[in-house]
Structure 1
Amino acid sequence: MPLTVIGFEGSANKLGIGIVRDGVVFSNPRHTYVTPPGKGFLPRETAKHHREWMLNVLKQALTDAGLTHADIDCVAYTKGPGMGAPLVSVAVAARTVAQLWNKPLIGVNHCIAHIEMGRLITSADNPTVLYVSGGNTQVIAYSERRYRIFGETIDIAVGNCLDRFARIIQISNDPSPGYNIEQLAKKGNKFLQLPYTVKGMDVSFTGILSFIEDAAKNKTLMAEYTPADLCFSLQETLFSMLVEITERAMAHCGSQEVMIVGGVGCNLRLQEMMEIMANERGARLYATDERFCIDNGAMIAQAGFEMYRTGLKDATYEDLLEESWCTQRFRTDEVEVTWRDP
């Protein structure tokens, strides 16, 4: 029997609801909370956005899929990690829908959802994964029922670094600060040497951010470098660090596949740099576009589908409902991966 899962995602500023049936994406609408240039998104206002748009996005997901609630077999939602208030707002909505429709409810790890969506869309078999977003930066590989973290940021995520720099130079947040930095970087041609902090397979971004923030406020320096030059320099430095730690993990694992997931994974320059490294190793790069890299409901549905069919199908409705809480901190390697071979 086909299994149809609806997934609710809202761990940050994007509210997404997607429907997946046996590995086929039926619908995947989302709505993004956008703030004015120079401002970030706060948890309270982001949660308010999600509550206000929840019904519209839910209706659109069902309409786009050509389905009704009777066609849904399971409800999945983001359990964590993420921002507290937005996570709660979406968890409450998913829990409400599950009870109204009398469907089992599955809490999904956000990071693993990105990986499973990437594997589904690209058909990658067993890749080393670079997961890069506003809240996460990790190099991951699968082993013995776990997605193991080989390297990660020791302070802020790469997406957060880009976002915070965008505020300093007053770049628009529409559609996203990272995207607009990418476009501006294409116009830059003068490289400013920035701190480069790689520690084994871990990275650090706060020193780079502080340095380039000071540079952007230095009138003497800015007479020599344009904002586009700074965006170009920042991207090249950050992405070089990420490619380095990914290659190190690939060498450690003996991997010939590398996959980029997460919102920053949409960046074409990052994909280009990673592909150069992969080609030099005789390896293959797997990446997707903004439909599936950026936070979305279909990725939650796909991970929920895998979890439900392989480990949770026999759990009682009441037990699943009892476990329908959420958490801001939820490590990738905490989850038992029951749907893959050991």
Structure 2
Amino acid sequence: MVVTIGFEGSANKIGIGIIRDGEVLSNPRRTYITPPGEGFQPSATARHHQAHVLDVLQEALDIAKITPDQIDAVCYTKGPGMGAPLVSVAVVARTVAQLWQKPIIGVNHCIGHIEMARLITGADDPTVLYVSGGNTQVIAYSERRYQIFGETIDMAIGNCFDRLARLLKLSNDPSPGYNIEQMAKRGQRLVRLPYVVKGMDVSFSGMLSFIEERLDKWLAGEYTPQDICFSLQETAFAMLVETTERAMALTGSQEVLISDR
């Protein structure tokens, strides 16, 4: 049996997981949450990870009931992600690997998400819609590697949602996207927003700018914050569904795997 420990700290969440032959033994984490209306900055996020990483490491070992001598390899996120948080966690992973005398493996953040989702769901050969704070891509496995069939040409959908949450002063706890989703459930009116699909690629920045320019007028008139959240969510999701369906038709895939942050 192979036991690996993985360190992830590419954004505002620090997490450490232990896996034994595909079985998740532990996966504790801590999330850096900023006040409403504020995003998380790299330096402050890195300090958060530095403050919590050793506690999370001990918690991961305790929950898994694993000792360092039972671990076969140390893995860590090498990118993509925010530079300072990535470095702060990578330093700890390298130190642990040296102290425990274990091999260390750098993992691509995006592929890690996809493979983790495949492991949990049992998907065989899916078309992947990878959506997160920093990435929006339609991906499939072809010719012995992951190929990008479409992606955002400007900002990621997660970043778009985060920025709308800041405009509306929504809480970042547990996450801006979650709180937008809850608001959207109470939306009553669909606001017409720019729908931008260019071949297999999508664009969200124009939609966000469109909202920013009109938000005060809308909120003072006939639309509620719930309506705005509902409209952004429905429009953005429709764009992603269109490109994902097109990729499925191209690859002949019968499975869709949605992987987020």
Q: State the TM-score bracket (shorter-chain normalisation).
A: over 0.9
How far has the Cα of 1:215 moved from its partner? 2.3
Corresponding residue for 1:283? none
Q: 1:78–1:110: 8 Å Cα contact kept in structure 2?
A: yes
Mapped partners of 1:226, 1:128: distance in 2: 36
Aligned-residue CA RMSD in angstroms?
0.7
- The answer for unaligned runs of 5 or more in structure 2 is none
Mapped partners of 1:32, 1:217: distance in 2: 31
Corresponding residue for 2:57? 58
Mapped partners of 2:121, 2:3: distance in 1: 21
Q: 1:139–1:149: 8 Å Cα contact kept in structure 2?
A: yes
Q: 2:219–2:225: 8 Å Cα contact kept in structure 1?
A: no
- Which amino acid in structure 1 is aligned with residue 215 of structure 2? A
Runs of 4 or more, structure 1, over 3 Å off, are none
Please, which of 224, 227, 248 is the counterpart of residue 226 of structure 1?
224
Do residues 95 (structure 1) and 94 (structure 2) align?
A: yes
Q: Highest relative contact order (Cα 8 Å, sep 6+), 1 or 2?
A: 1
| SS across alignment from 2:155 | coil
Mapped partners of 1:60, 1:92: distance in 2: 19
Do residues 238 (structure 1) and 251 (structure 2) align?
A: no
| SS across alignment from 1:178 | helix
| SS across alignment from 2:170 | coil
Corresponding residue for 2:252? 254
Do residues 36 (structure 1) and 41 (structure 2) align?
A: no
Mapped partners of 1:47, 1:111: distance in 2: 20
Q: 1:150–1:249: 8 Å Cα contact kept in structure 2?
A: yes
- Which amino acid in structure 2 is aligned with residue 245 of structure 1? T
Map 1:37-186 onto structure 2 (within 5 A).
37-186=36-185
Residues 32 and 221 of structure 1: is their aligned pair in 2 closer, same or farther, counting only changes over 3 Å?
Answer: closer
Q: 1:118–1:259: 8 Å Cα contact kept in structure 2?
A: yes
- Which amino acid in structure 2 is aligned with residue 251 of structure 1? A
Deviations 1:94-139 (CA, angstroms, capped at 9, x unpaired)? 0000000000000000000011011100000000000000000000
Mapped partners of 2:94, 2:197: distance in 1: 42
Q: 2:132–2:158: 8 Å Cα contact kept in structure 1?
A: yes
| SS across alignment from 1:63 | helix
How far has the Cα of 1:51 moved from its partner? 0.2
Q: 1:26–1:65: 8 Å Cα contact kept in structure 2?
A: yes
Question: When the two structures are superposed, what TM-score results if normalisation uses the length of structure 2?
Answer: 0.99
- The answer for unaligned runs of 5 or more in structure 1 is 264-342
How far has the Cα of 1:223 moved from its partner? 1.6
| SS across alignment from 2:128 | strand
Mapped partners of 1:13, 1:159: distance in 2: 13
How far has the Cα of 1:221 moved from its partner? 5.4
Q: 1:169–1:216: 8 Å Cα contact kept in structure 2?
A: no
- Which amino acid in structure 1 is aligned with residue 244 of structure 2? T
Residues 262 and 99 of structure 1: is their aligned pair in 2 closer, same or farther, counting only changes over 3 Å?
Answer: same
Do residues 17 (structure 1) and 20 (structure 2) align?
A: no
Mapped partners of 1:100, 1:63: distance in 2: 18
- Between 1:206-215 and 1:181-190, the stretch displaced more is 206-215
